[in-house]
Each structure stands twice: as C-alpha cells, then as structure tokens.
C-alpha cells in the first residue's frame, strides 16, 4: 500500500474514532513498508479468531496465549516489530499493547468484549462484564484482580510510587493508537532508524488534533533528509491552520521549494 494512501486512510480512520483497531494497527504496520497489505493482515486476524475456542475472556485468552503460543517479547522488548501487528502475528510475540489489541480484536470476533487498560508502564486487558477481572497479555493472559494490578504496578514503579485507581480505567481507541505510535517512534529512535522515525511522524502528524509542534518537527526532519517538497507541503498546511504564524510557514515553504532547483 502506498505511503500516501495509508497515511490518508489512517488520518480519516482516527478522525472517526480509530475503530476498528485492527485496521488502525494494520495501517501503522504499513509505515515505510509499502508491501504490507492491511486487508491481508486483517484476514490473518480472522483466521486466528477461528482457531481460538469459544468461551469467556479467560478461556479465549488461554486459547490465544497458551494454545497458539503468543507471548511477551522479553528478550528484545524495544524491537520495532513488536509494535507492528503483522510481525506480532508472524512471530507470535510482542509488547503488552499490541498483544492486548490482538486479543481485543479476536474477542470482538468471538463475542467477547475486552477493554484496553493503559496502566502506566504496562498495558492490560479487562473483561467488560467484570470490573475485577484483568488479564495480562504480556504474561500469557495471566488473570489479575485489582490487588494483583496494584502489585504489578508496585513491581514496575516501586512500592512508594502513588497508585491511582484511575490508572485502571478503560483506554479509548484513539489513545491506544497514540500509544502504539509512541512506542514505535521510541523504538526507531532507540535503534537510530531515522527513516522509520520519519514514517511514524507522518502518521502522528495526520492524526486529528496533531499539534503544530509535531508537524513542524516533521517538516524539519523531512528537510534534513532532502525531501524538500514534502517538507514544503507540511508548511503549506500549517499556514492554513496556524494563523498566528502563517507568514512564517509560507516563507519556510518558499525557501524549501527554492532548494528543489
């Protein structure tokens, strides 16, 4: 899928609420990887759902994590592939949020509603029908109650770190997508992959409500890579939206276009 098409579809999907999440993550997986077909990725999730036994949330997660072997990647946590849903499926390993989204989307197909819980430091799942039934996708679908979540939090942040029950409130689809992008962006920065970093910035800049600062950063990185026209187009859009600095954006666009000659 062409990058421009993927970015445009991604922006429109997020503007509509970022649902379904499988489509959003399939589009994220295309960033810098035009050979990835989002429809094929979704088809593979359909196939996985058919392989997972019907039942409640615990039984379904047992089928996904124990039966099919999906597990947390503890040996290479910061590998960008952990944030790419197609590679999570290929390798049957990932980080908490991508494994959780996979479980949520399989659950949706199987009539089991799982909610994403963006606890600081570790993404979890919660059964929509039971406020005290949490599951840790990174740890093989381990079942937790509220006290277990608190112990997990203390283990991550230390026993003196303040815990707020609000940390266990459901996380909406747009926030989930934002967190996936932030993880992928951080992985590229950590690995020194500038091209991958730019690909993620383009998706972040396409999100409704993206800040001016994020898009100025994108323009700057594109210019540093010699992609002057792409950088100029970002400033053109900013000139239409950031009225207080419209003249500055137009001037930047002119300077960038001059470098094309």
Q: What is the mean pLDDT of each run of 10 residues along the chain (261 residues)?
A: 87 94 98 95 98 94 97 97 98 98 98 97 98 98 97 95 96 97 93 90 82 79 81 83 85 87 69
Q: Match 């058919």 to its residue by tokens.
A: 50
What pLDDT, on a 0 to 100 scale, did the predictor assign at position 189? 87
3-state secondary structure of 42: helix
DSSP string for residues in 130-142 = -TT-EEEGGGTTE
Q: Where are the alpha helices (DSSP H) in 62-117?
A: 85-91, 96-110
φ, ψ (nearest 5 deg) of residue 144: -130, 150
Q: What is the pLDDT of residue 111?
A: 96
Please confirm whether the linkage preceding 20 is cis (ω < 30° from 0).
Answer: yes
Task: Report d(CA 125, CA 5) in Å as an integer.
Answer: 32
Distances (CA, A) of 193 to 49, 84, 91, 92, 98: 34, 15, 21, 24, 21
Q: What is the rounded CA–CA span in Å between residue 223 and residue 228? A: 5
Global confidence as pTM:
0.87
How crowded is the C-beta side of 245, counted as CA atoms within 13 Å? 12
57 vs 55: CA distance, rounded Å: 7
Please choose, from the candidates 198, 178, 180, the residue with its C-alpha nearest in 3D space to the C-alpha of residue 188.
198
Two structure tokens written together for 177: 């997508």
Runs of H (alpha helix) within 92-172: 96-110, 146-157
Residue 124, pLDDT score: 99
How many angstroms from the chain centroid is the CA of residue 25?
6
For the 173-258 domain, the top CATH level (class) is mainly alpha
- Measuring CA to CA, how many Å separate 232 from each of 118, 119, 197, 219? 36, 39, 19, 7
CA-to-CA dists, residue 194 to 190, 197, 258, angstroms: 10, 5, 24
User: Rounded CA gap, 114 and 127, in Å?
Assistant: 5
Phi, psi of 165 (to 5 degrees): -55, -20
- Every domain of the chain with CATH number 1.25.40 lies at 173-258
């Amino acid at each position: 899928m062409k990058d421009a098409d993927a970015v445009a579809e991604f922006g429109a999907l997020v503007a509509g609420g970022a649902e379904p999440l499988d489509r959003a993550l399939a589009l994220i997986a295309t960033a810098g990887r035009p050979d990835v077909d989002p429809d094929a990725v979704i088809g593979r999730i359909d196939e996985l759902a058919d392989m997972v036994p019907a039942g409640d949330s615990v039984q379904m997660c047992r089928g996904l994590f124990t039966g099919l072997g999906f597990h947390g990647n503890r040996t290479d946590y910061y590998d960008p592939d952990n944030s790419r849903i197609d590679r999570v499926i290929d390798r049957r390993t990932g980080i908490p949020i991508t494994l959780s989204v996979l479980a949520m989307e399989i659950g949706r197909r199987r009539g089991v509603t799982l909610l994403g819980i963006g606890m600081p430091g570790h993404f979890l799942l919660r059964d929509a029908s039971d406020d005290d039934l949490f599951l840790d996708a990174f740890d093989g679908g381990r079942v937790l109650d509220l006290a277990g979540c608190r112990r997990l939090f203390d283990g991550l942040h230390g026993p003196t770190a303040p815990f707020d029950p609000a940390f266990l409130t459901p996380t909406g689809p747009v926030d989930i997508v934002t967190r996936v992008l932030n993880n992928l962006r951080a992985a590229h920065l950590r690995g020194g992959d500038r091209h991958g970093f730019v690909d993620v910035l383009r998706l972040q800049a396409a999100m409704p409500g993206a800040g001016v600062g994020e898009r100025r950063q994108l323009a700057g990185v594109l210019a540093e890579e010699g992609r002057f026209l792409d950088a100029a187009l970002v400033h053109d859009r900013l000139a239409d939206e950031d009225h207080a600095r419209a003249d500055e954006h137009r001037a930047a666009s002119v300077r960038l276009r001059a470098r094309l000659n």
